[in-house]
Structure 1
């Protein structure tokens, strides 16, 4: 593969991952509305179950993918799915005692953890511009969320663990994506994630304190808005998003992926401002600009205009 083709592939990868991040940011308000009626793990189980079905159909439709479900793929996918579940689980537990702003900031710290973990896992040291971009992204996240890092409690520690799990998922996705079929790997990953969420939901049903919160009412369960939220989060925000991550991390680094993913709260804030007239403070605007800037510092090839090929 020549240099121009490599540059084009990286551009396509980064723009697609940026679109994935936009989709995730756009689901914030949908998810928030659905969680007013059903429990977190009921929502996650339904979301990931539908995504798994979609991925299985896709895998069975493409002939060569059927033979890609090897023992190695099942092991790698199970590991990635368990890492994702760890991220979702620790974030959910942490949100019980911390603020959404602090949770958003701490989750976003995986942008710094990824280059730290990439060296021992991938045996490749991040470039100086990657570190610079990651640190600028952290400053931007702090300004955007308006967190007070002096007030750390138990919930914050749990969300920080969430960030570690998500960072590991990004790093190991790069490691496995180079060797395995992306669709087969993603299918196993999301299927295992679904199993973990289903098990957690089942265990919750035995709890006297949380069992009654699985579904607030039958009317809520059959609500159109709830199922629209579940379907949007299941198909574009899970099935497509994680397949795209797995596929395109063959062409871009885990550090650059993490920096692009740090745009999620920026998109969420922008959509909230446009759609719901949410107020964004001056520091929040500066934070958004810094996160945008960090993305271009980490990888100057990320441009809206497609690079010309001669």
Structure 2
């Protein structure tokens, strides 16, 4: 129950973060926004890090070369966050939330690489989710909106991130892993911002500050850290089914705070996506209950 509540809280924070991410794009570029929010997320955890009593364990992990694992976690996080943030520029918060939720189906499908086989339910969920993506993102002739495509690709990175955390988080101090991957993501985002020519001035920074604060402290510092703590004991597919509620919170936030509305076609597609996310997890949840 504790892990479930932590994951549900994470989903709620991430869902409403789509509103902050979209609002921030009115003032600064996507890579600049990610660089600032992940840096702020890392800084928000430093007081806890300095007060922690795990210094010897962290030093031992660094000597053992486990910083490579932290680097890979940061790379997966950067790939998903960068593509998602760029996609949000061209699509709504609600649609971005539902499309990002496709990673819930990808977790058991890609889990075969780690010995977690998906079975028929996984494929059924994937077909439902892809059908939902069609109704949600394709209008007129077969063509997916550019922003939707970017967010869709980001889902592959987020699925890889969930699976990778499930594999390594138990071997790490949570604060060390959290801060490490945030700093990697912030640095890569900064490099991407410089190469893409994004600029920022004091007025733009001031306008984006509320969005950066929520994205940095809540979405990164709090939510991603809760994910790491919860996934130390939660099966990745068990975590994924709860995290898929992020999609609902994103749609709710877009409707309440940005006055966004889904058309009947898009709502039908979103419903199919949510059904795919849930169906892909049902068999695993039933099996876990039987085993207990």
> Which TM class, normalised by the smaller chain length?
0.7 to 0.9
1:88 to 70, 81, 85: 81
1:198-217 → structure 2 map (5 Å cutoff): 198-204=190-196, 210-211=197-198, 214-215=199-200, 217=201
Match of 1:117 in 2: 110
Correspondence 1:23 to 2:13:
yes
Match of 1:49 in 2: 39
Match of 2:203 in 1: 219
Under a length normalisation based on structure 2, what TM-score does the superposition of the two structures give?
0.79
Q: Which stretches in structure 1 are left out of the alignment for 5+ residues?
A: 1-10, 205-209, 303-310
Q: Which stretches in structure 2 are left out of the alignment for 5+ residues?
A: 286-292
Under a length normalisation based on structure 1, what TM-score does the superposition of the two structures give?
0.75
Aligned residues: CA RMSD = 3.4
Correspondence 1:151 to 2:135:
no
1:28-177 → structure 2 map (5 Å cutoff): 28-64=18-54, 67-69=57-59, 70-71=61-62, 72-92=65-85, 99-100=91-92, 106-120=99-113, 122-126=114-118, 136=128, 145-148=136-139, 150-152=142-144, 158-177=150-169
- The count of residues paired between Structure 1 and Structure 2 equals 280
2:233 to 246, 251, 256: 251
SS in 2 for 1:63: coil
Distance 1:154 1:288 in 2: 18
SS in 2 for 1:201: helix
- Listed one character per residue, the Cα deviations across residues 188-243 of structure 1 (whole Å, up to 9, x for unaligned) are 11111111112222334xxxxx34xx22x5323234xx222211111111011111
- Listed one character per residue, the Cα deviations across residues 279-306 of structure 1 (whole Å, up to 9, x for unaligned) are 344455555666666666535999xxxx
Distance 2:129 2:168 in 1: 26
**Bigger Cα displacement from structure 2, 24-33 vs 85-94:** 85-94
